[in-house]
Amino acid sequence: MPLGEIERLLQNEIGLHSSTVGSDTVRHAVEARMRACDISRVEDYRDVIRHSRTELDQLIDTVVIPETWFFRDHNPFSAFSEWLQESRRGRNTPTPLRILSVPCSTGEEPYTLAMCLADCGIAPSQAHIDAIDISSVNLAIARNAEYGINSFRSHDLSFRERHFDAVGQRYRLRDDIRARVRFTRANILDSEFLAGCEAYHVIFCRNLLIYFDRATQHQAIDNLCKLLVERGLLFLGHSETSLLKDRPFTAMAFPRSFGFVHRQPVDQPEAVPEFKKPRRPAYPPAPASQKQKPTMPFAGVRPETKPHDNTRRDSDPLQTAFRLADEGHLDEAALQCEALMKQDSCQPGPYYLLGLVREATGNSSAAEQLFRKAVYLAPDHYEALTHLSVICERKGDKQSAQRFRDRAQRIQATAPLRHIEQ
């Protein structure tokens, strides 16, 4: 079947597994490109992309639909900002810092990292960001650095006042932030991906691996590990953390940052500083001159040599479950959620977290039902709605995906900032 051959070609080229996005998504993209090329037969279009790198890239750009915004999932950026401030305090500070964002999509993530650097007082000469994506269209948008309202979904938009200029109905990023990021087209699955580059102190690779099959996921992780210094930081998407099981990584003790420290052998010196004092995450980080004395506890990086303590308990059992999931102990988190649901079947938090766990282990069907239950119990559960929109998009149910997305955006536009477990 020609469509099946095209799906296999996309999988070989960019690691995209049709089961994660749905065959309908691939089919719609193929049909759109066929119309653009004035081709009526799928067989003919298959032959075109076999021999035309340009058209294959156009198809990839059509299939890979970016869903991103500035300071998306704020906790990773708060953890990154805390780490930056610890680095500035002194011990073995790596200079210049090397940071990688892959895939960078249309630029919102690497530019967010650049804003964190600026707001923490890190000079351009002290840090550099490489931003990588496979889509030439995405990279063109990123380099242009002009964004519409959809890229600004955070509750606190003070960063926009500091770093953007209004241009009609859009916002243009200021040149001092743009200059901190270098954009490059590359494929994370290439065996020579960034070969010869100096290793990075921080890598952000969030919500890419969920589109790969298991073998391809580990291939990508292998490539990232080669690029990360000892004690460097790796940030993944919440559904991807289980991929680091049995690998030399330790979870950061920053709630829901999904950041991990690359462990080093005992006889090697630290490449990056370790957190020492409790601090408060800043979201979005305010300029260094405006920072207030922190009050919220921040535990920092858990020592690598300390084994997981199954006897430790937080005051809130749901917090315990979230902590276990953050640290990659998905089976234990699931058991905790199931116990909580037996105690009180009307609380949305355990259903939401168990949905995350099921999604992380590849059981999208169970995850969907759990997210739907969370939304039934809490109709304004923003996070469950966003996950439902993604799951429906993958299934090819675009109408439901848009409905859930619209509901989530309405909630985010009106609700105060809150933690996802509430």
The amino acid occupying position 85 is: Q
286-323, pLDDT tens digit by residue?
A: 444 444 333 222 223 333 333 344 444 456 888 888 87
Q: How far apart are the first and last CA of the chain?
A: 48
Please state which architecture CATH assigns to domain 317-414. Alpha Horseshoe (1.25)
Q: Residue 61's pLDDT band (boundaries 50, 70, 90)?
A: confident
* pLDDT for position 90: 56
Q: Which of 44-58, 179-193, 304-318 has the lowest mean pLDDT?
A: 304-318
Q: Residue 240's pLDDT band (boundaries 50, 70, 90)?
A: confident
* Burial of 385 from C-beta contacts in 10 A (0-12 / 13-18 / 19+): buried
Q: Answer for the pair 253, 302: CB distance below 8 angstroms, yes or no.
A: yes
β-strand partners of 234: 203, 260
* pLDDT for position 285: 47
Residue 28: count other Cβ atoms within 10 Å of its Cβ: 15
pTM of the model: 0.63
Q: Answer for the pair 130, 255: CB distance below 8 angstroms, yes or no.
A: no
Domain residue extents for the chain: 2-63, 74-290, 317-414
Cα–chain center distance at 27: 26
Q: Could you tell me the CATH superfamily of domain 74-290?
A: Vaccinia Virus protein VP39 (3.40.50.150)
Asked if pLDDT for residue 409 goes beyond 60, the answer is: yes
Cα–chain center distance at 65: 15
